[in-house]
């Protein structure tokens, strides 16, 4: 799904080149899906609860710099763990025409900049890293929006990825996935240490009991709540510490509640009746949290496993499907040409530069951005101003 025009405008991208870059990606990679029973039921259910109109198959979202510092090479490890150094090539007495492009994502790119001495000075000093550039915005404004409901079904559910999307006017996207390998999808595995957290173990047991089930995702647009990333140490192989501050801002929680109420309406709709047990349905939270893995969300509210409110459900079932973004945002860490502010010959081009997560899935926009910046950088080197 393409990003909405507001996202493109905030990112400072050329609308015409964005359009043509999307078209190039879509021509190479995109096809119109064949809707089967589960996806059709969600589509019709969305229409029953007022998420309309049905737009059919569409990819659109409807509703001069100077510095004294410059990157000149990278240190990397090969598959065998051997360390190497590669430098940008340049003629003697001339500046290099080459550049280093960091595309390690919303977690990896801020981590690499900090390890290179570009980041909040106090944090760099605490790790014993030489401060090359005090850049307090590196690792800041990280965001991640996602909640899910897994719906056990009395009827077979076909395997399918996201094909039906409801773009609501209440700040949420609703997306349907058919039967998938939930254990692998959520990265739920038993610990190699021999001990598995109880919530994870309970979620595994519950999922294994499901013969037929589908999943409905709810994505909060934005979100408004932001977090931060810091390094544990100077070892690039160690994961950084990340805090997303889910639902810190009340606006995000209200948007999630709005989305969950729409999903409740979809599952209760006439169109969805073949995929719903007569008296109840449930949501499963396969996360490493402190809650039970199975919670009833409608009716039979007399038992202890019932969620007290949609607000609590949103908080308890928030999880990742890897749509995090931010940490090297445009206007804060990089300019509108994705060059790191204050450093020559260094760009960051990936989801860490996003101010928001575009559409239901950012993949199309990431592919577009690669094509877009490839054309822009080629033209810079050739001294051309056209966009072809």
- The residues assigned a catalytic role are 323
- Among the listed residues 355, 373, 327, 356, the one whose alpha carbon sits nearest the alpha carbon of residue 231: 327
CA distance linking residue 85 with residue 75, whole number of Å = 4
Contact 141, 333 (CB under 8 A): no
User: Which tokens belong to 374?
Assistant: 């490839």
Contact 115, 234 (CB under 8 A): yes
3-state helix, strand, coil in the chain (%, to 5): 30, 20, 50
Q: How many CB atoms lie within 10 A of CB 265?
A: 16
- Rounded to 5 degrees, φ, ψ at 235 are -80, 115
> How many CA atoms are closer than 13 Å to the CA of 98, on its beta-carbon side?
11
Which whole-number Å values give the CA distances from 69 to 11, 85, 118, in the listed order?
25, 19, 11
């Amino acid at each position: 799904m393409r990003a909405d025009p507001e996202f493109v405008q905030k990112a400072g991208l050329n609308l015409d080149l964005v359009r043509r870059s999307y078209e190039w990606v879509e021509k190479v990679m995109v096809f119109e899906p064949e809707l089967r029973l589960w996806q059709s039921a969600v589509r019709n259910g969305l229409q029953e609860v007022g998420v309309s109109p049905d737009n059919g198959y569409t990819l659109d979202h409807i509703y001069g710099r100077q510095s004294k510092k410059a990157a000149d090479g990278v240190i990397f490890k090969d598959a065998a763990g051997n360390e190497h150094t590669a430098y940008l090539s340049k003629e003697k007495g001339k500046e290099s025409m080459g550049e280093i492009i960091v595309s390690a994502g919303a977690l990896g790119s801020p981590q690499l900049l900090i390890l290179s001495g570009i980041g909040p000075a106090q944090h760099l000093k605490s790790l014993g890293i030489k401060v090359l550039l005090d850049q307090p915005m590196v690792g800041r404004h990280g965001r991640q929006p996602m909640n899910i409901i897994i719906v056990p079904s009395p009827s077979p559910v076909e395997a399918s990825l996201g094909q039906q999307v409801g773009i609501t006017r209440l700040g949420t996207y609703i997306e349907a996935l058919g039967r998938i390998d939930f254990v692998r999808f959520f990265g739920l595995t038993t610990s190699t240490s021999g001990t598995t957290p109880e919530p994870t173990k309970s979620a595994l047991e519950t999922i294994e009991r499901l013969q037929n089930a589908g999943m409905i995702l709810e994505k909060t647009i934005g979100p408004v709540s932001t977090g931060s990333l810091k390094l544990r140490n100077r070892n690039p192989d160690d994961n950084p510490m990340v805090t997303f501050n889910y639902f810190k801002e009340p606006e995000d929680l209200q948007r999630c509640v709005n989305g969950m109420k729409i999903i409740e309406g979809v599952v209760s709709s006439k169109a969805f009746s073949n995929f719903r047990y007569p008296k109840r349905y449930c949501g499963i939270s396969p996360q490493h949290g402190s809650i039970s893995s199975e919670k009833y969300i409608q009716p039979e509210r007399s038992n202890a496993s019932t969620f007290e409110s949609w607000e609590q459900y949103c908080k308890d079932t928030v999880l990742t499907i890897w749509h995090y973004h931010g940490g090297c945002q445009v206007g804060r860490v990089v300019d509108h040409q994705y060059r790191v502010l204050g450093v020559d010959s260094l760009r960051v081009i990936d989801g860490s530069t996003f101010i928001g997560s575009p559409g239901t899935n950012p993949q199309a926009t990431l592919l577009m951005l690669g094509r877009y910046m490839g054309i822009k950088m080629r033209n810079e080197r050739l001294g051309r101003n056209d966009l072809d």
